Structure 1
Amino acid sequence: MRDLAGRVIAGFTVDRRVLALSFARMADGVGNSFLIIVIPLYVASDLVSGATFGLGESMIIGVILSIFGFLNSSFQPLTGRFSDRVGKRKAFILVGLGGLTITNLAYVVAESYVSLLVIRGLQGISVAFIIPTSVALVNELSTTGARGGSMGVYNTFRLVGFGAGPVVAGAVVNAGPYAIGGLSIDGFDAAFYVAAITAALSSLLVTALITDPASTQANAGADLSIDVFDSSGTHLFDPIFTLGVASLFMATAIALFATIQPQVNARLDQGSGWFGLQFAAFIFAQVLLQTPIGRACDVYGRRPFVVGGMVLLIPTTLVQGLVWTPEAMFAARLFQGIAGAMVFAPALALAGDLAGEGESGSKLSVLTMAFGFGIAIGPLSSGALIGFGFPVPFAFGTLLAVLGAIMVYTQIEETLETTAPVPVVGND
């Protein structure tokens, strides 16, 4: 029996370990998102030097930020599958958090573009140990009737941390140097120390509060193959593969915004404060809507939300290339966040419904890997396409959103067997 000795949130029960893992991911999310803001500032400062390999500043920033996503996504299928094989999740999460703690501290002594690239790459590998095993653990601690809600809670807390980081990162850097114990610490080093502390705190939470469910070890070593085409012949593509492709397209579209801050600010005649708000608007919508949408997909089905979210992604991506005011860009990013919220938790819940016992790490890593690749491709795409005109990167993202919407509409079937409201359950 699954352990459902949980806490009741918004009318449904969440396993205590899901809540603990959510808090842990919130903590390390703060530190990781810190770096999204701090690294571009650090690269642009006079503290970093060395070979640029003929690349401009925007492309260097894009490469450093993107190497994280490429290595993270490349290693996720391996770590997800290996955790299925050995029937352990907690150990993998702790290895990843330990790696994050060490690499966050390493930035303090990094003074060249190459060293930043190496450190960010090692962070990507570290996070590859965390993401698929965390999502697999949430899946294994949830019943079918509460899976969407659990995924929503997990994503909400994770995104609270991810959204909080950029809000305060710039302030931490600008408020430096700091005098602590007779030592002077500049703003950049302070930011790197904060990132390291949050990763260490997350490790403590996982160590103290997380245990692997018995079913994970009992089903270790199951068939872990990933299909591209639908073996049943009902559709062309396997549904989990389809969700992975849609996640790739969606993540690419939402990540276009991250590395073109100078061009956005110039076009909209705004400062970095507005850009930070626009960046955070997407996260704000996610935080507000992940849990209610996750719960709703437990009642009304997964497919309507996934399809609806991909359709909404189309206009909300396109309009970002056409607006001329900070307020309009903020609204566009906010509604793009709504689109993302409609896809995230329901897609993970749908894939979790399809994953058999002992397969969660392998199956769900398809979605997390694809999303990570999209987060890496987006900044590189916008950096490469912005030279052809401001609307071009967003037109590219819109095309991907159209293709993703077509795929989920034609290749995905509903997995929830009942649309009856799921009652609150107690200890099982």
Structure 2
Amino acid sequence: MLSIVGRFLSLFRVDRRVLALAFARMADGVGNSFLIIVIPLYVGSDLIAGNAFGLEEAVVIGTILSLYGFLNSSAQPFTGRYSDRTGKRKAFILVGLAGLAVTNLAYVFADTYAHLFLIRGLQGVSVAFIVPTSIALVNELATTRDRGGNMGVYNTFRLIGFGAGPVAAGVVVSAGPYALSVPGTNGLGVAVNGFDAAFYVATVTAAVSYLLVTVLVSDPESTVADAGSDLSIAILDRSGRHLLDPIFTLGVATLFLAGSIALFATLQPQINARLEQGSTWFGLQFAGFVIAQILLQTPIGRASDRVGRRPFIVAGMVLLIPTTIVQGYAFTPETMFLARLAQGVAGAMVFAPSLALAGDLAGAGESGTKLSVLTMAFGFGIALGPFASGTLVGYGFRVPFLFGGAIAAVGAVLVITQVEETLEIDRVDEQGERDEPADR
């Protein structure tokens, strides 16, 4: 058994704790992405009553989805910084997963718009305990020689869960209600509608993730000892070579990237009507972005350990521009899926290399603070996208996607002008391979 586990670890060439954490994030990713599909349908159902605060349905959906991102992102610098000071990455992750499990279950009892706003807000705070500390832990378990590959493996498994969730959510909701019989009661049972079934699945996945982290993940011994004293977040470049700090610049680019990809979520009713499709097709299109990343994150991350981080980031931001705009002109379910797939290629070229580059620049004991800039920006982008598309779609179906292309172009310019390479390419040996890191 141990030899099988060893071969599995050698296949991905990462620390076993990184792989365990990746599996845990895959499990909670399924549940969290379930809600991106389920909440818009739930808002539009007759199960939610009460005051909608005078807002149109698309704006309500966008606001609920965005609230999660705004609270999540706003709290991440604080949770990241405090985890740097305490060195307790695992404890922060477990607190967040427990909160996520409880709030997923709370949706079963929600029947007003106010309940949905409250629960989604609490979920945002819960996930703020998970994201920066998880990335910091991966960063501390990696080295400059394999950081891109570790980030790629972590993101790959997390995105497998995130991509599987929307497809499964559409199936679970549409297949309901479910009749569940109680054994030994002569046919006595209960009926569970599709929405409640989806919320139960999301709860179980968060609980599984909690169990995996509890059993398989531990903090590096050096985390507490290396807690940094300078935990500030710089905006301007202190070296004087550029105007903006490179990590801050990557954060802005990540904000625009996430905003561009998240435009899609709020527009489910409009996209389904325009393309004459159902929720299952929409789930596949949503997952198309993630499919490309699942396939490419690890190889691109490892390639960035060999040839550099910056070339991938620049190419990905440039490719993001046309792949976002073209979604506004898609005319069949198949073409929309291909557009999302191409957008996923762009995202895969940015995510792992950006995290690796920021990790290269973070000093000992600063991972939570420095990398929270990127994770915070990603969360704000996920919040910006649905809010922007819900607001802009009133001016025309293509307008949100044109907006996404414009901000992607700004992000590309910033990366090209403000970010330098961190990898020392000349350290590669004659075979093009780096030495394996010690203590693996």
Whether TM exceeds 0.5 here: the answer is: yes
State the match for 1:102 in structure 2: 102
Distance apart, 1:175 and its partner CA:
2.1
State whether structure 2 residue 277 is matched by structure 1 residue 275.
no
After TM superposition, the structure 1 = structure 2 runs for residues 361-400 of structure 1, keeping only pairs within 5 Å, are 361-400=368-407
After TM superposition, the structure 1 = structure 2 runs for residues 107-118 of structure 1, keeping only pairs within 5 Å, are 107-118=107-118
| Distance across 2 between alignment mates of 1:424 and 1:39 | 45
| Distance across 1 between alignment mates of 2:277 and 2:196 | 28
Distance apart, 1:221 and its partner CA:
4.3
Whichever residue aligns with residue 359 of structure 2, its letter is: G
CA deviations over 1:349-401 (Å, ceiling 9, x no partner)? 00000000000000000000001000001011011111111111111111101
CA deviations over 1:81-118 (Å, ceiling 9, x no partner)? 00001111000000000000111111111110000110
| Distance across 1 between alignment mates of 2:160 and 2:10 | 17
| Distance across 2 between alignment mates of 1:74 and 1:42 | 26
Is 2:143–2:437's contact at 8 Å kept on the other side of the alignment?
Answer: no
Distance apart, 1:277 and its partner CA:
1.6
State the match for 2:221 in structure 1: 214
Q: Are residues 275 and 176 of structure 1, via their aligned partners in 2, closer, same or farther at CA, if it must alter by over 3 Å?
A: closer
What is the identity percentage for the equivalent residue pairs of Structure 1 and Structure 2?
A: 71
State the match for 1:23 in structure 2: 23
State the match for 1:173 in structure 2: 173
State the match for 2:186 in structure 1: none
Distance apart, 1:281 and its partner CA:
0.6
Q: Are residues 6 and 309 of structure 1, via their aligned partners in 2, closer, same or farther at CA, if it must alter by over 3 Å?
A: farther
Whichever residue aligns with residue 434 of structure 2, its letter is: V
The SS at the match of 1:184 is strand
| Distance across 1 between alignment mates of 2:122 and 2:11 | 41
| Distance across 1 between alignment mates of 2:252 and 2:168 | 33
State the match for 1:48 in structure 2: 48
Distance apart, 1:13 and its partner CA:
2.1
CA deviations over 1:319-355 (Å, ceiling 9, x no partner)? 1112222222111111100000000000000000000
Distance apart, 1:7 and its partner CA:
6.3
Q: Are residues 427 and 356 of structure 1, via their aligned partners in 2, closer, same or farther at CA, if it must alter by over 3 Å?
A: closer
Is 1:34–1:165's contact at 8 Å kept on the other side of the alignment?
Answer: yes
| Distance across 2 between alignment mates of 1:427 and 1:131 | 26
Is 1:87–1:221's contact at 8 Å kept on the other side of the alignment?
Answer: no
Distance apart, 1:260 and its partner CA:
0.7
Is 1:104–1:195's contact at 8 Å kept on the other side of the alignment?
Answer: yes
User: Mean Cα displacement is larger for which, 54-63 or 322-331?
Assistant: 322-331
User: Of the candidates 349, 352, 359, which is equivalent to residue 352 of structure 1?
Assistant: 359
**Pairwise CA RMSD:** 1.5
Distance apart, 1:270 and its partner CA:
2.8
| Distance across 2 between alignment mates of 1:389 and 1:287 | 32
| Distance across 2 between alignment mates of 1:108 and 1:11 | 41
State the match for 1:184 in structure 2: 191
**Any stretches of 5+ residues in structure 1 without a counterpart?**
none
Distance apart, 1:273 and its partner CA:
2.8
State the match for 1:234 in structure 2: 241
After TM superposition, the structure 1 = structure 2 runs for residues 119-134 of structure 1, keeping only pairs within 5 Å, are 119-134=119-134
Whichever residue aligns with residue 41 of structure 1, its letter is: L
| Distance across 2 between alignment mates of 1:318 and 1:139 | 34
Q: Are residues 121 and 278 of structure 1, via their aligned partners in 2, closer, same or farther at CA, if it must alter by over 3 Å?
A: same
State the match for 1:264 in structure 2: 271
State the match for 1:60 in structure 2: 60
Distance apart, 1:423 and its partner CA:
4.1
| TM-score (ref. length: structure 1) | 0.96
Whichever residue aligns with residue 320 of structure 2, its letter is: L
Is 2:75–2:125's contact at 8 Å kept on the other side of the alignment?
Answer: yes
State the match for 1:140 in structure 2: 140
Whichever residue aligns with residue 280 of structure 1, its letter is: A
State the match for 1:194 in structure 2: 201
Distance apart, 1:268 and its partner CA:
2.4
| Distance across 2 between alignment mates of 1:156 and 1:300 | 20
Distance apart, 1:228 and its partner CA:
0.4
State the match for 2:303 in structure 1: 296
Distance apart, 1:180 and its partner CA:
4.4
CA deviations over 1:274-333 (Å, ceiling 9, x no partner)? 222211110100100000000000011000000000000011111111222222211111
User: Of the candidates 314, 317, 324, which is equivalent to residue 317 of structure 1?
Assistant: 324
Is 1:6–1:13's contact at 8 Å kept on the other side of the alignment?
Answer: no
State the match for 2:408 in structure 1: 401
CA deviations over 1:131-174 (Å, ceiling 9, x no partner)? 00000000000011100000000000000001111111122122
Is 1:75–1:125's contact at 8 Å kept on the other side of the alignment?
Answer: yes
| TM-score (ref. length: structure 2) | 0.94
